[in-house]
Chain A
Amino acid sequence: MLQLKNLIKTAFKSIFKNRMRSLLTSLGIIIGVSAVIVMVAIGEGSQSRIEEGIQSLGTNLIVVFPGTSSSGGVSRGAGSFNRFTFADVEKISQEAMLVKGVSPIVRTGGQVIGGGNNWNTGIYGVSEDYFEIRNWELEYGEFFTERDVKTSNKVALLGKTVANQLFPDQDPVGQKVRIRNVPFLVIGILKAKGQSGMGTDQDDLILAPSTTVYYRLRGWRHVDMINASASSPDRIADAKKEIRAILRESHRINPGEEDDFTVSDQADISEAASETSRILTMLLGSIAGVSLLVGGIGIMNIMLVSVTERTREIGIRLSVGARGKDVLIQFLTEAVILSLSGGIIGILLSLGISFGLNKFTELYTVINPDIIMVSAIFSAAVGIFFGYYPARKASALNPIDALRYE
């Protein structure tokens, strides 16, 4: 090989002589690579957040929605079906052998006044089993008891966010809050759970006895949902069957008729949720793919625009005695250097961006090494191909044809 050192030196010189062209070429690759990596990292980050969030719901959790559903435990909404009643919950609690705890959920929302402040939040009427089912812990104070539920006591547990909003600088326990004008005694503060995988604040809520919410706060009378926990993780499937049988009986569903409720466990829910986040990842990924493509087309453009100039350059080199191979090596070296440095800068940039996102925003990103490889290889291939291709064509010409190229 003819003085490889010289050819590489020539390639470097050429890169620096054509700074603008080199910069634009690399920029296409930098943007393409970093966009793909960051977008996919955001998608995968939110996916892993969602999965973590579902994990934190409690592994034994069983959720019963009203209405049938064809897939994934998502309710079809209001239809002609029986709502749950306290009797349903009572029946499960008494008859199901594989269920450790069961709680109705009576949901409402509204203005809460306390400590001279007011705040809009969700109010959940639940039974004393609920704390264990959903892994709620106390920051301080105490949970309400079975007795509180039986007697519809007006007691309440505040989520951390609600406590901070209403009583920023006093102890809420022992204080009164008025929920839709009904006075409740605050008996405890729930330990903060933070954001859910979907980005909602899990601590923005009030828990109160189901019967109190049902009779005192709600204008309409039914139980929205049932939460239960299986006696152990490997009993979830059997526990679900049990609950189903009990509810079919209490809802008087004849054999062969469809359920008017849906029993799902955490696996079903997480499947539905990851399905959503998978779609999100795919969406982000395809946007990123487009930017990679646009970057590639940008590189192509710049390279093709410079073909005339480069072909003349090749003509000059050939006319003073360069062999075709000499020219090819020079151009290939140029293309590889540009693509490689663009790719590396793009990767570093994306690592920086994803670090910044994790640190300074609520987005959470997870870097996927496969994506780094794929995007780096793709953009390098584009850069090399379009840097090399014109050279291939031109170096095969007679010197005089290359010199005359227009």
Chain B
Amino acid sequence: MDPVIETRNLTKTYQVGDVAVHALRGVNLTVKKGEFLAIMGASGSGKSTLMNLIGCLDLPSSGDYFLDGRHVNSMNKNEYADIRNQKIGFVFQVFNLLPRTNALENVELPLLYDRNGRIKDPLKAAMDALKRVGLADRMDHEPSQLSGGQQQRVAIARALVNSPSIILADEPTGNLDTRTSIDIMALFQELNKQGITVVLVTHEHDIARYANRFVEMRDGLILRDVILKNRRNAAKDLVEFKREDIA
């Protein structure tokens, strides 16, 4: 399989006053198409920093980053914006939805900036995406009128709407309860089954078990990179949960 994401010696150094914070110290990571990767690691180990670089939300201090074989570092800002728009769906821990804006309009947002016109009917695409995350009946709701889990689903629908080839999720279940977390994971597993590459940061081993590959970071470096054997199925776990509820 072709690598979708390939980083070579990626570093990121933040200058805080006189102190240089080395958030990444040379990360080499290759993700193949269709993989479901879970990244874990202690707080401050550089997970978010790496995700932001992969998601083209930030620029590395040094090193190379190839996305679908293209050298991203040598692109200009506009090409960068277009990659975010066309190739990547990013899901944040804090949702990052537009306030006072209903779910449908939030999901439509990326299509507003779609200059290739890949999606012919933005409204329908947004409605479909909301249906896929099970929020067909919440389209008119503003973020303040939705639960945390529902807000995260809206954010996932927004990440999906442009049919990206990669979904990046930085602690998407960090603010959610176990049941809702499994719900969200079921969604990611289904998307992954449809061929979308998923990279996910989490603090919970239980959540990481839904991935098929596991990467552990420490101090800005990759410490461990293993293929997961006993991958869990979120949809099944959910059925289990429901049975317990009834009992």
Measured CB to CB, the residues of A under 8 A from B are 2-3, 6-7, 10, 13, 17-18, 309, 312-313, 315-324, 326, 398-401, 403
Q: How far is the CB of A316 from chain B (nearest CB, A)?
A: 5
Residue of A whose beta carbon sits closest to that of B81: A323
Q: How far is the CB of B33 from chain A (nearest CB, A)?
A: 21
Residue of B whose beta carbon sits closest to that of A10: B112
Q: How far is the CB of B146 from chain A (nearest CB, A)?
A: 16
Interfacial chain A residues near B99, Cβ < 8 Å: 309
Among B84-92, B179-187, B193-201, the one that faces the other chain is B84-92
Residue of A whose beta carbon sits closest to that of B87: A321
B114 at the interface (CB under 8 A from A): yes
Measured CB to CB, the residues of B under 8 A from A are 52, 55, 57-59, 77-78, 81-86, 90, 92, 96-101, 105, 109-110, 112-115, 158, 162
Residue of B whose beta carbon sits closest to that of A6: B112
Mostly helix, strand, loop or mixed at chain A's interface?
Answer: helix
Interfacial chain B residues near A312, Cβ < 8 Å: 96
Cα(A18)–Cα(B77), bound, Å: 29
Q: Check B113–A313 contact: CB distance below 8 A.
A: no
Q: Check A322–B81 contact: CB distance below 8 A.
A: yes
- B114: which of A316, A319, A321 is its contact (CB, 8 Å)? A321
Cα(A6)–Cα(B123), bound, Å: 13
Cα(A315)–Cα(B85), bound, Å: 13
Residue of B whose beta carbon sits closest to that of A403: B96
Q: Check A398–B58 contact: CB distance below 8 A.
A: yes
Once A315-B96, A320-B85, A323-B78 are accepted as A-B contacts, the answer to whether A2 and B115 lie under 8 Å apart by CB is yes
Once A318-B81, A399-B84 are accepted as A-B contacts, the answer to whether A323 and B98 lie under 8 Å apart by CB is no
Q: How far is the CB of B21 from chain A (nearest CB, A)?
A: 15
Q: How far is the CB of A140 from chain B (nearest CB, A)?
A: 75
Q: Check A322–B58 contact: CB distance below 8 A.
A: no
- A322: which of B52, B59, B96, B113 is its contact (CB, 8 Å)? B113
Q: Check B77–A324 contact: CB distance below 8 A.
A: yes
Q: How far is the CB of A267 from chain B (nearest CB, A)?
A: 65
Known contacts A321-B85, A323-B77, A398-B59; 5 further A-B pairs (Cβ under 8 A):
A13-B105, A318-B84, A320-B85, A321-B114, A403-B57
Instruction: Please report the number of residue pairs spanning A and B whose Cβ atoms sit closer than 8 angstroms.
Output: 71
Interfacial chain B residues near A7, Cβ < 8 Å: 112
Once A10-B112, A398-B58 are accepted as A-B contacts, the answer to whether A320 and B158 lie under 8 Å apart by CB is yes
Q: Check B90–A319 contact: CB distance below 8 A.
A: yes
- When A and B form their complex, which 5 residue pairs have the shortest distance between CB atoms, in order from nearest? A321-B85, A320-B110, A400-B57, A321-B84, A399-B57
Q: Check A316–B58 contact: CB distance below 8 A.
A: no
Q: List 29 A-B contacts (CB under 8 A).
A: A2-B115, A6-B112, A10-B112, A13-B101, A17-B100, A312-B96, A315-B96, A316-B98, A317-B109, A318-B81, A318-B84, A319-B84, A320-B109, A320-B110, A320-B158, A321-B84, A321-B85, A321-B110, A322-B112, A323-B78, A323-B81, A323-B113, A398-B57, A398-B58, A399-B57, A400-B52, A400-B58, A401-B58, A403-B96
Residue of A whose beta carbon sits closest to that of B77: A324
Interfacial chain A residues near B86, Cβ < 8 Å: 321
Interfacial chain B residues near A400, Cβ < 8 Å: 52, 57-58
Q: How far is the CB of B244 from chain A (nearest CB, A)?
A: 37
Cα(A324)–Cα(B78), bound, Å: 8
Cα(A221)–Cα(B101), bound, Å: 87
Cα(A398)–Cα(B53), bound, Å: 11
Q: How far is the CB of A188 from chain B (nearest CB, A)?
A: 77
Once A315-B96, A316-B96 are accepted as A-B contacts, the answer to whether A326 and B113 lie under 8 Å apart by CB is yes
